[in-house]
A and B are shown apart, each in its own frame.
Chain A
Amino acid sequence: MATFLYLIRRVLQAVVVILIVTVAIFCLLHALPGGPARGILGPQATAQQIAEFNREQSLDKPLPVQYFVYLRTLLHGDLGTSYTLNESVAQLIGQRLPKTLVLTVLSALVGLVLAVPLGMWQAVRRNKPVDYAVTTLSFVAYSTPVYFLGLILVLVFNHILPWFPAQAPQGDSLGQVFADPAGLVLPVAAGAASVVAVFSRYMRAATLENLSEDYVRTARAGGSRQGAILRRHVFRNSLTPVVAMLGYYVPVLFGGALVIEQLFNYPGMGLLFWSAAQSSDYPVLLGCVLVISIATVVGTLIADVVQRIVDPRVKAGEV
Chain B
Amino acid sequence: MSAVLQSGRLPGGGSGGASPDEIGVRGLRLAARRFARNRLAVAGLALVVFFFLFCFVGPYLYSTDQTHTALTQVNLAPSGAHLLGTDAVGHDELGRLMYGGKVSLLVGLASGILATVIGTLWGAAAGYAGGWIDAAMMRVVDAGIAIPALFILLVVSAISTPDVPGLIVILGLVSWLVPSRLVRAETLTLKNRDYVLTLRAIGGSHARAITRHILPNSVSTIVVAATFQVADAILLVAYVSYLGLGLQPPQTDWGGMLTAGLTATYSGRWWLILPPGLAVILVVCAFNAIGDGLRDAFDVRGRG
Residues of A within 8 A of B (CB): 13, 16-18, 20-21, 24, 28, 32-33, 132, 135-136, 138-140, 142-145, 147-148, 151-152, 154-155, 159, 194, 197-198, 201-202, 204-205, 208-209, 248-249, 251-252, 254-255, 258-259, 273-274, 277-278, 280, 285, 288-289, 292-294, 296-297, 300, 319
Contact = CB atoms under 8 A, between A and B. Distances in A.
Interface stretch (B51-59, B66-74, B143-151): B143-151
Contacts of A273: 151, 154
A258 B28 CA distance: 43
21 contacts: A16-B139, A18-B146, A21-B146, A140-B281, A143-B235, A143-B282, A143-B285, A145-B258, A148-B280, A155-B265, A194-B5, A248-B8, A249-B8, A252-B2, A254-B148, A289-B155, A292-B151, A294-B146, A297-B142, A300-B145, A319-B188
Nearest to B284: A143
A155 B261 CA distance: 13
| B5, B11, B149, B255: most-surrounded residue (chain A CB, <10 A) | B11
B281 A251 contact: no
Contacts of B147: 21, 24, 251, 289, 292-293, 296
Contacts of A136: 40, 285
A259 to B, nearest CB: 7
B90 interface: no
B146 A143 contact: no
A205 B14 contact: yes
Nearest to A28: B155
Contact of B281 (A144, A248, A274, A292): A144
Contacts of A294: 146
Given A147-B242, A277-B154, A293 B10 contact: no
B148 A292 contact: yes
Contacts of B289: 139
Interface of B: 1-2, 4-14, 39-40, 139-140, 142-151, 154-155, 157-159, 185, 188, 231, 235, 238-239, 242, 244, 255, 258, 262, 265-266, 273, 277, 280-282, 284-285, 288-289
A21 B148 CA distance: 12
| B11, B143, B146, B255: most-surrounded residue (chain A CB, <10 A) | B146
A277 B155 CA distance: 6
A140 B266 CA distance: 24
Given A139-B10, A252-B8, A297 B273 contact: no
B11 A202 contact: yes
A273 B147 CA distance: 13
Given A145-B258, A197-B10, A201-B10, A293 B146 contact: yes
Given A139-B288, A148-B238, A252-B4, 10 more contacts: A18-B146, A198-B8, A201-B13, A205-B11, A251-B148, A252-B5, A289-B147, A289-B151, A292-B151, A319-B185
A16 B141 CA distance: 12
Chain B contact residues: helix, strand, loop or mixed: helix
A145 B238 contact: yes
A132 B12 contact: no
Given A252-B5, A255-B5, A145 B11 contact: no
A204 B292 CA distance: 15
Contacts, number: 169
Contacts of B146: 17-18, 21, 251, 292-294, 296-297, 300
A16 B239 CA distance: 31
Chain A contact residues: helix, strand, loop or mixed: helix
Contacts of B157: 277
Nearest to B262: A151
A56 B9 CA distance: 46
B265 A280 contact: no
A198 B5 CA distance: 11
Given A144-B281, A249-B8, A296-B146, A258 B151 contact: yes
Contact of B288 (A28, A142, A202, A277): A142
B7 A248 contact: yes
A305 B285 CA distance: 33
Contact of A135 (B2, B40, B155, B266): B40
Given A13-B142, A155-B265, A288 B10 contact: no
Contact of B14 (A24, A140, A209, A258): A209
A151 B264 CA distance: 11
Nearest to A298: B146
B158 A259 contact: no
B142 A17 contact: yes
B151 A255 contact: yes
Contacts of A138: 10
A252 B266 CA distance: 29
B158 A255 contact: no
A21 B154 CA distance: 17
A24 B151 contact: no
A5 to B, nearest CB: 16
A208 B14 contact: yes
Nearest to B283: A143
A244 to B, nearest CB: 13
Contacts of B139: 13, 16-17, 20
A105 B40 CA distance: 32
Contact of A255 (B1, B155, B265): B1
Contact of A143 (B150, B242, B266, B280): B280
Contacts of B150: 255, 258-259
A293 B157 CA distance: 20
B40 A151 contact: no
B235 A274 contact: no
